[in-house]
A and B are shown apart, each in its own frame.
Chain A
Amino acid sequence: MTEQSKSALRWQRKDLLGIRELSAEEITFILDTADAFKEVGTREIKKVPALRGKTLVNFFVEPSTRTRTSFEIAAIRLSADVINISASASSLTKGETLKDTAKILEANHADIIVLRHSSSGAPQFLAERLTSSIINAGDGAHEHPTQALLDLYTIRERKGAVAGLHVVIVGDILFSRVARSNIFGLLKLGARVTLVGPSTLVPREFEKLGVTVSYDIDEILPTADVVNLLRIQHERQRKEYFPGIGEYIRLFGLTKDRAKRLKPDCLIMHPGPINRGVEIDSELADGAQSVILDQVTNGLAIRMAVLYLCGGIATP
């Protein structure tokens, strides 16, 4: 863990809305905190009383299994009480506004609200109106901060540091909140980022963020230290953006043949759920270079850290 800063920074945020507004120091602070929570997972008793007496509401207006489960296990290990609400079970379907639903949650003493929503900015909307801690678990095509943090954590754990690495993000960038949060985080920690994918999904405009855009994956792979393959989001896709599965595999899929171009110590990442045989060859997903399962385990430590920090400070 070479990037641990010894600075005297102390955590002061009640909400985690995105990576964009965090400083490099704050990101490192969360990663260091996650180190401590990863250690808790090795104890005989894997539960700590940090959030005892707090109530956490998992409010997922958009479906999700892995993120919701990860937040739920994280909250349970911190001794918080957890309530899960899905869109179909909430009064949103009866015409109640998001604000009113959230006000009801707060009136029921929800200390922490973990929100997944299809509209960009929904978490910020709530954070400005409620005293509860708001954690963004993915909002539209905007940000998915805990996913980026667990990716950064996994890279730092395997490579010792993020600074100086060349990270290649492949696939559906345009619709991807994971890509956006990752780009912000990687650049803040000093990595070099290249985006690769069909020009319809990886517009040149992204270069304004400080990344390189390429349409030739074979040229880029040999210099990559990390390859992060994003899921093709069929649900967000309109036909005209996407070249078709066969063509996508041929041009951008990480096939066994293509993987021979990678450095032997290049990490292969995927936020899941994997479309086996599309973004990545099935054998590669389970291979020695793949850290896909590490990402899941580290996601738990990251979410414990975020809930501990944002949920553990005094709110007015």
Chain B
Amino acid sequence: MTNKQNTRTSSATPPVMDGEAITRALRRIAHEIIERNPELGSVILAGIPSRGVEIARRIADIVQSLAQTSVETGVIDVSMHRDDVGKRAELPRVQASRLPLPLENKTVIIVDDVFFTGRTARAAMDAISSFGRPARIQLAALIDRGHRELPIRVDYVGKNLPTAVGERVRLRLENVDGEPDAVWLVKEEKA
């Protein structure tokens, strides 16, 4: 219900990032990943469904074209590792996680769309550790909107977007949502 209302609100206001800005942000993340990981062959980009998976795929493509080296990708669904069990009135679909194994001596970079409280990243780290023990885990996000609730920071950030708690970051990606790439900041409607 609120989603529909927000759709109407957001189409009226200009986006804070358009398709071009998103692509530039992902390029910068790709450059930084190449810079900080001399052994790209040991890097795994693990996307959090559903948009994180698409962002991981895009970053992997950019790294491939820049460095002529392919990096592995995976999917890490955090639903089973969240800390709010029994507190939600409805549950979304869980996806199977898929990581190239073994993880030993690998660098797993968690890829999320919007970095917010840090709870999703914590759950993702927990999920990854059930697959094995990578050499290191890092975190990349297209947008960092602030309001951390856990002592976690992002390693690769596309854009810092200061927000109020009552605001919502609305991201649309072509291959996931069937709408052109864009990011809006929308006021959360009071129910």
Contact = CB atoms under 8 A, between A and B. Distances in A.
Interface of A: 9-12, 29, 32-33, 35-40, 43-54, 78, 111, 308-309, 311-315
A49 B80 contact: yes
Contact of A50 (B85, B89, B132): B85
A39 B127 CA distance: 12
Contact of A44 (B77, B90, B131): B131
Nearest first, the 3 closest Cβ-Cβ pairs linking A and B are: A39-B96, A48-B80, A10-B90
B126 A49 contact: yes
Q: How large is the interface on B (under 10, 10 to 19, 20 to 34, 35 or more residues)?
A: 20 to 34
Contacts of A9: 93
Given A10-B91, A50-B79, A50-B80, 13 more contacts: A10-B92, A12-B89, A33-B93, A36-B77, A36-B79, A36-B96, A36-B97, A39-B98, A44-B132, A45-B130, A49-B85, A50-B82, A312-B88
Given A49-B126, A50-B85, A52-B85, A12 B131 contact: no
Most chain A beta-carbon neighbours within 10 Å: one of B95, B96, B129? B96
Q: Interface residues of B: mostly helix, strand, loop or mixed?
A: loop
A33 B126 CA distance: 19
A159 B92 CA distance: 26
B81 A312 contact: no
30 contacts: A10-B92, A11-B90, A11-B92, A12-B89, A32-B94, A33-B94, A36-B80, A36-B96, A36-B97, A37-B94, A38-B96, A40-B130, A44-B130, A45-B130, A46-B130, A48-B80, A48-B81, A49-B80, A49-B85, A50-B82, A50-B85, A53-B85, A78-B80, A308-B80, A308-B94, A309-B91, A313-B89, A313-B91, A314-B86, A315-B86
A51 B79 CA distance: 11
Contacts of B88: 312-314
Contacts of A312: 85-86, 88, 91
Contacts of B127: 48
Contacts of A10: 90-93
B23 to A, nearest CB: 25
A35 B90 CA distance: 19
A33 B80 CA distance: 11
Contacts of B8: none
B96 A314 contact: no
B87 interface: yes
Nearest to A316: B89
B96 A313 contact: no
B131 A36 contact: no
Nearest to A111: B86
Contact of A45 (B90, B94, B129): B129
Given A36-B94, A43-B131, A49-B126, A313 B86 contact: yes
Contacts of A314: 86-89
A312 B93 CA distance: 13
Nearest to B132: A44
A311 B129 CA distance: 24
Contacts of B132: 44
Interface in B83-118: 85-98
Contacts of B82: 50
A161 B90 CA distance: 27
A54 B87 CA distance: 12
Interface string B62-75: 00000000000000
A38 B30 CA distance: 33
A35 B96 contact: yes
Contacts of B89: 12, 313-314
A40 B78 CA distance: 12
Contacts of A43: 130-131
Most chain A beta-carbon neighbours within 10 Å: one of B82, B90, B127? B90
A136 B92 CA distance: 23
A43 B98 CA distance: 10
A109 B131 CA distance: 33
B91 A51 contact: no
B93 A51 contact: no
